[in-house]
Amino acid sequence: MRANAYGLIVPRFEDVLHSFYASEIIKGVSLSASHLKADVLIHITDRLQHEDWLSWPILQSNYLDGLLFADIDSDKATLKKVIAKGIPYLVLNNFFSEDINCISIDNEKAAFEAVNYLLKLGHKKIATIAGDLHTYAGKSRLKGYKEALAKHKIALKDEYITVGEFLRTPARNAAEKLLHLHQRPTAIFAASDVMALETIDLARKEGLSIPRDLSIIGFDDNPIAIYSSIPLTTVRQPIVEMGQLGLETLNQIALSAAKQPIKTVLPAKLVLRESCAKPTQK
């Protein structure tokens, strides 16, 4: 009798093999695979063209017992075609109102709490560097930012909303726009630590002091932040745990031992460090 075998579909993006998110998901899936004595095949797919979700040759071999999606980049249409084939599946890092199996992190609430913390410190000029808005995480974190401002009746300024795509160069370009505004923000919520670190680096090169002149919050609790010139306030999300739970749940679905649809939302936690302070400018 062969071991159960599952496909982990990971979207391809810049430095995918060095990505904190991808590596943490793979780590979590691998831990569960070892526990379950299951095989996992990792398939890196194009971010915008997903025909291979259906045409991946090994899908035709009846070898795979299920598919675990690390993300779907908003491609619900192709996902539904996979579901229609009757293949056991589960989607990570997304939440759906429809009957679709998913495990996500509460990105919206976590972003809300991060921005709310800045507001409680007294900041009113708060900008954001959003992530990839093709992703559920990117959209949800931007939504949380907007909701926090709305709760405190702070007017939303279009020029304070930039997009860094979760990548270094776009994030640096976004930070440069924000730092050169006539009404420069006193705080920035970056939707990933990588983008926050680019912002800190650029701000310091422009002669700004963190957090005296500019408070910054990231998202991920990425170990790379230990190289920051100042300890980064951030949001710790349980990505490894999501990967572990994802494969364990998919295994239960494949064995017909889980009631569907599966819908799980994992909490994230704001971690306070030294990159935030009360604003010094009005």
Is 237 a residue whose pLDDT tops 80?
yes
Structural domain contains residue 163:
yes
pLDDT exceeds cutoff 70 at 214:
yes
Give yes or no for residue 16 having a pLDDT over 70.
no
pTM above threshold 0.75: yes
Residue 27 lies in a domain: yes
Q: What is the pLDDT of residue 18?
A: 72
The verdict on residue 34 lying in a domain is yes
The CA-CA-CA angle for residues 83, 245, 218, to 5°, reads 100
- Tell me: do 194 and 248 sit in the same domain: no
Tell me: do 157 and 134 sit in the same domain: yes
Residue among 81, 16, 4 nearest 44 (CA)? 16
pLDDT of residue 55: 87
pLDDT, tens digit, 9 for 90 and up, residues 55-73: 888 887 788 999 999 999 8
Phi-psi region of 268 (alpha: psi -120 to 50; beta: other; left: phi over 0): beta
Domain tally for the chain? 2
pLDDT at position 198 over 90:
yes
Residue 218 lies in a domain: yes
Q: CATH no. for residue 31?
A: 3.40.50.2300
pLDDT at position 58: 84
Amino acid at 214: L
pLDDT of 122 > 90? The answer is: yes
Assess if residue 202 is contained within a domain. Answer: yes
35: pLDDT strictly greater than 90: yes
Using the structure block, give the residue that is written with the tokens 């990570």: 92
Same domain, 121 and 149: yes
Do 95 and 208 belong together in one domain? Answer: no
Domain containing residue 113: 107-236
- In terms of domains, do 57 and 9 share one? yes
CB 118 within 8 A of CB 233: no
Q: Are residues 50 and 152 in the same domain?
A: no
What pLDDT shows up at residue 15? 65
- Averaged pLDDT, 224-252: 95
Residue 14, pLDDT score: 64
Please indicate, yes or no, whether residues 57 and 122 belong to a single structural domain of this protein.
no
Q: Which residues of 127-161 are buried (b: 16+ CB within 10 A; e: fewer)?
A: bbbbbbebbbbbbbbbebbbebbeeeebeeeeebb
In Å, how far are 92, 109, 167, 261 from 105, measured between CA atoms?
Answer: 9, 9, 20, 17
Q: Tell me, what's the pLDDT at 1?
A: 59
> Are 131 and 223 found together in one domain?
yes
Radius of gyration for the chain, computed over Cα atoms and rounded to the nearest angstrom: 20
* Alpha helix positions (H), 217-279: 239-254
pLDDT, tens only, 174-190: 999 999 999 999 999 99
Residue that is last in its domain, among 216, 236, 256: 236
Query: What are the tens digits of pLDDT across the range 239-251?
Result: 999 999 999 999 9
Helix, strand, coil % in the chain, rounded to nearest 5: 40, 20, 40
Residue 276 domain-assigned (yes or no): no
Same-domain check for residues 94 and 15: yes
Instruction: Enumerate residues 6+ apart whose C-beta is below 8 A from 62.
Output: none
Q: What is d(CA 46, CA 232) in angstroms, rounded to the nearest whole number? A: 32
Q: Residue 76: which of 104, 38, 50 has the closest Cα?
A: 50
- Is residue 112 located within the same domain as residue 40? no
The region that residue 153 occupies, defined by phi over 0 for left and psi between -120 and 50 for alpha, beta otherwise, is: left
Q: Classify residue 254: in a domain, yes or no.
A: yes
pLDDT score, position 282: 59
- Does the structure show a pLDDT above 80 at 74? yes
Are 165 and 81 members of one domain?
Answer: no
Cα–Cα distances (Å) from 41 to 10, 32, 114, 185, 201, in that order, read: 11, 14, 36, 45, 38
**In-domain check, residue 205:** yes
Distance CA 259, CA 253 (A): 8
134 with 16, same domain: the answer is: no
Residue-level pLDDT at 157: 96
Coil/strand/helix, residue 129: strand
Which among 121, 132, 127 has a CA at the least distance from the CA of 146? Answer: 127
